[in-house]
C-alpha cells in the first residue's frame, strides 16, 4: 500500500443496539446497520489498524489495548478517530470490545474480508482453521486517502505461524504524528 491510495467504497455490516446482561449471555435485540467507508473516513483524519482476529493472543494482549491506552495521545495529535478492523463478524467484534472494556477505539467488522482485500492485506490462515484474515497493518488516513502506511514484515500465505508485531505498534504511529505537526 502506498501513500496517496484513495479508499474505494466498501459496505460494512454493523450491529447496533444488541444488549446482554453479562459476559455469559449472547448480545441480542439490536439491528443490522450498513455503514461504508465514507461513514468512517470522509472528512476525518484517522488511525486505522487491522489485525488477524478478535480474541487472539497478540491482538488482545498488546495491540488493541495499546491503542486504547494511547487514545488521548492520538487525539492530542489531531486524530479524530482510531479504528480497529478485523475479518470478523459484527457480533464477534462487539463481544470482543465488551469483553476487553474498550471505550474509545471503534471496532469495524470486515466479516467478508472485502475491505482487507481492497487494502491488499487479505491472507489465508486456513492452516490455523481461521480461513481468510487480515495481515497486521496500520495507517493514517486523511479524508479517505492513505497518508502513511505500516505493515508487519513477511506477509504469509504459506501456512507458517509467524505473527510479527512491532511495526504496527501504536508508538510507531505516535512518533510519526508528533513529527508531522
- Give the catalytic positions in this structure: 59
Among candidates 90, 21, 35, 92, which has minimal Cα distance to 60? 92
Strand 31-36 versus strand 11-16 pairing type: antiparallel
Q: Which residues, 6 or more positions from 156, have their beta carbon under 8 angstroms from its beta carbon?
A: 123, 135, 162
Q: Are 96 and 109 in contact (CB under 8 A)?
A: no
DSSP state of 45: E
Q: Are 151 and 1 in contact (CB under 8 A)?
A: yes
Amino acid at each position: 500500500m502506498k501513500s496517496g491510495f484513495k479508499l474505494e467504497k466498501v459496505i460494512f455490516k454493523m450491529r447496533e443496539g444488541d444488549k446482554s446482561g453479562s459476559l455469559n449471555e449472547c448480545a441480542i435485540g439490536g439491528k443490522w446497520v450498513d455503514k461504508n467507508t465514507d461513514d468512517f473516513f470522509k472528512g476525518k483524519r484517522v488511525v486505522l489498524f487491522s489485525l488477524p482476529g478478535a480474541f487472539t493472543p497478540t491482538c488482545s494482549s498488546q495491540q488493541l489495548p495499546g491503542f486504547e491506552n494511547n487514545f488521548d495521545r492520538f487525539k492530542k495529535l489531531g486524530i479524530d478517530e482510531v479504528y480497529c478492523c478485523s475479518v470478523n463478524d459484527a457480533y464477534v467484534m462487539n463481544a470482543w470490545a465488551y469483553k476487553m472494556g474498550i471505550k474509545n477505539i471503534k471496532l469495524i467488522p470486515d466479516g467478508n474480508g472485502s475491505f482487507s482485500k481492497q487494502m491488499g492485506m487479505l491472507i489465508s490462515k486456513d492452516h490455523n482453521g481461521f480461513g481468510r484474515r487480515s495481515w497486521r497493518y496500520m495507517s493514517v488516513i486523511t479524508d479517505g486517502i492513505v497518508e502513511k502506511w505500516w505493515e508487519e514484515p513477511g506477509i504469509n500465505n504459506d501456512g507458517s505461524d509467524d505473527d510479527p508485531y512491532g511495526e504496527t505498534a501504536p508508538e510507531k504511529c505516535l512518533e510519526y504524528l508528533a513529527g508531522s505537526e
